[in-house]
Amino acid sequence: MARRYELKKGARATASGIDYEAELNEQQYAAVSSRPGPALVIAGAGSGKTRTLTYRVAYLLDQGVDPKSLLLLTFTNKAAREMMERVRELVPMDLSDLWSGTFHSIGNRIFRRHADEVGLTRSFSIMDRDDQKSLMATVIAECDIDTKQRRFPKADVLITIFSLMENTGASLEDLLEVRYPYFEEWAEEIARVAEGYTKKKFETNSVDFDDLLILPLRLFRENEELLARYQKRFQYLLVDEYQDTNAVQSELIHLLAQPQDSVMVVGDDAQSIYSWRGADMDNILSFPDRYPEAKVFKIETNYRSVPEVLELSNAAIAANERQFRKSLKAVREGGSMVPALVPVDDPRTQADFVAQRILELRDEGIELEEMAILYRAHHQSLEVQMELTSRGIPFEITSGLRFFEQAHIKDVAAFLRFVTNRRDEVSFKRFCLLLPGVGAATAGKLWTAWLKVGISREEDPPESFSKYLLKFSVPAKAKSSWEQLVYTLDELVVEGGYARPAEMIKSVLGGVYEDFMKASFDNYENRRQDVEQLAMYAEGFEDVLELLGQLSLMSSVDGEPSGSQAQVDDEKVVLSSIHQAKGLEWKVVFLIWLADGMFPNGRVLEADDRDMFEEERRLFYVALTRAKDELYLTYPQVNPKSYSGDIITRPSRFLEDCPEEMLEMWEVGPSW
């Protein structure tokens, strides 16, 4: 039997000298200085979550823990960098042996050392999205799937489906039924592609980002000795944003933490808003059940917002049943106003109010970048974008491109542009390329054929497009789609002129474009709502040429793409979806479209599912807690040009959870 020889720790000259009790509040200090073992830290919005986590790392190092024994897991590279920078500032010592990074970067680091154990070499390639799409196209071709009569899902959609299967553990059948019912008829073929895709990745010595989690987990499950090596190394695990973990990430943490279970996870169940991409809030809710010895720390002191915003936020989230109950308390003194509830006549009045109030606040000394306009879905920003542009207020969009610059909006506009200008080669080729089996060469041939007959007609508009276009030769797999497209072009023309612009857009969506979006985009529902919003906007125009002119003007500023204009203006208002705004803060927040069907989302209301509805309420809570000083909650009382007809909107039911005394009603109207 070998003799055991223990290395004794001597005095450490690199001790930080931090007075933890003095630099942290009572709740933070309790978590930071807790004994090793399982710990759940519920860190409310604006409570100093990052500070708690970084001081915990520093505290462990000050206790003599070897940096090599620490593993810090985050969700973004930016978070990992910021945390390590803070730790280095706190503890002046060599931290090169401390492993810190995103789940995927740590997964890559582990798997790169052991890839040969699953049949890959250590020089494997990591595919990006374009690489995945290219490989997927090869697999689909090799599977010899007949896509001539029906649209088969595009590579982007398949990648998302397979990713959700891997990260949630859901079966293909269940996933299609719940999220992609319009692809259920392709279930057998999709399963073949999934199998072929996995096989092709190994043949090409390649992995995708999901594999960087899936394959290390597979290694640990199948090789106890290998797992034991990493368990021995990582004696202390620290995990950021634990409420956002999926099933794979949660199991990886659980395996690595054994047998000592010295794992501290930090997060906020009230900010769990990403179930649609695989995050499972049950991971954080069930943590005390998984680790019966776990200590639960709540950090409820908020350093961000005024008391008036926090009181409203606390009231808003209280209605949720599934949560760790807490009550955020403000360090700051009361502000100059309570949150404002601002009902307005219609969407354009809402945009007028937001723009005017922004200019007033700017005159009061609040810089534009300290103001944000938040919304549930990107298309809800349309009227606001228009109004800000018309008033010359610079803005930056973090939720995507400017509305009129999005590909699907341009696709729909291409139909209208071509019908009104039969010499528009760019628009003609753009909608031709939407068809299955049609590439640049085929689109060029179709344009050449059109030149021979299309623009020679003197009729304006022509009596019939189908009379000419149906004679054109298209690939077999595009035949039925081409016919539908051509008949759709016919629908855009009525006796004596063009159809009303809104009706033209509806015809394009219903006739051909909706099927294309379903097969092509993993966020089909959001894009469909964008097109419907475009139709609503078009209701304000009788002349299609006037609408098209406005679209062109709105998609650029001073002749330059909007992105370049945003770079010119140092000061700009932020427009963002709430999902994109998580983790950010502004002095002033405008939360728009607080109407049932808009927020909460209509699909959530129709589903009548408690978990979905509670996540929607958490999204509302996240929006409220972004505001530091002033908060404006607005909704149009009438949506006179909705896609399905005129409707009177109902205020968001989330407002029912907000006591009247916590809100100040603003009455918006014209000056007399």
Residue tagged active-site, from 240, 244, 269, 614:
240
Residue tagged active-site, from 189, 208, 241, 530:
241
Produce one character per residue of 312-351: b if its CB has 16 or more CB atoms within 10 Å, e if not.
bbbbbbeebeebbebebebebeebeebbbbbbbbbbbbbb
DSSP 102-118: EHHHHHHHHHHHHGGGG
Is residue 565 part of the annotated active site? The answer reads: no
Residue with tokens 């995050």: 279
Burial class (CB within 10 angstroms; exposed 0-12, middle 13-18, buried 19+) of 212: buried
What value does the CA radius of gyration of the chain take, rounded to a whole number of Å? 28
Residue with tokens 């890959």: 120
Residue tagged active-site, from 28, 132, 271, 565:
271
Residue tagged active-site, from 27, 28, 49, 268:
49
Is residue 471 part of the annotated active site? The answer reads: no
Query: What gap in Å lies between CA 469 and CA 449, rounded to an integer?
Result: 9
Strand partners, 560: 557
Is residue 231 part of the annotated active site? The answer reads: no
> Three-state secondary structure along 523-586?
CHHHHHHHHHHHHHHHCCCCCHHHHHHHHHHHCEECCEEHHHHHHHCCCCEEEEEHHHHCCCCE
**Closest by Cα among 100, 37, 104 to 252:** 104
The counts of H helices and E strands in the chain are: 30, 23
Residue tagged active-site, from 56, 417, 626, 641:
626
Task: Tell me phi and psi for residue 385, to 5 degrees.
Answer: -55, -45
Query: What gap in Å lies between CA 448 and CA 435, rounded to an integer?
Result: 17
**What angle in degrees, to the nearest 10, is found between the helix axes of 247-257 and 211-222?**
40
**Closest by Cα among 293, 383, 388, 306 to 345:** 383
Is residue 442 part of the annotated active site? The answer reads: no
Is residue 241 part of the annotated active site? The answer reads: yes
Strand partners, 373: 575, 590
For residue 33 the two structure tokens come to 């200085």
User: CA dihedral defined by 357, 359, 363, 369, rounded to 10 degrees?
Assistant: 100
> Three-state secondary structure along 5-66?
CCCCCCCCCCCCCCCHHHHCCHHHHHHHCCCCCCEEEEECCCCCHHHHHHHHHHHHHHCCCC
Contact 337, 664 (CB under 8 A): yes
How far is residue 79 from each of residues 126, 138, 183, 241, measured CA to CA in Å?
22, 37, 38, 10
Contact 54, 83 (CB under 8 A): yes
Query: What gap in Å lies between CA 101 and CA 420, rounded to an integer?
Result: 54
Contact 84, 8 (CB under 8 A): no
Query: What gap in Å lies between CA 433 and CA 476, rounded to an integer?
Result: 15
Is residue 49 part of the annotated active site? The answer reads: yes
Query: What gap in Å lies between CA 323 and CA 615, rounded to an integer?
Result: 11
How far is residue 110 from each of residues 104, 114, 227, measured CA to CA in Å?
10, 7, 11
Q: Which residues are catalytic?
A: 49-50, 240-241, 271, 626
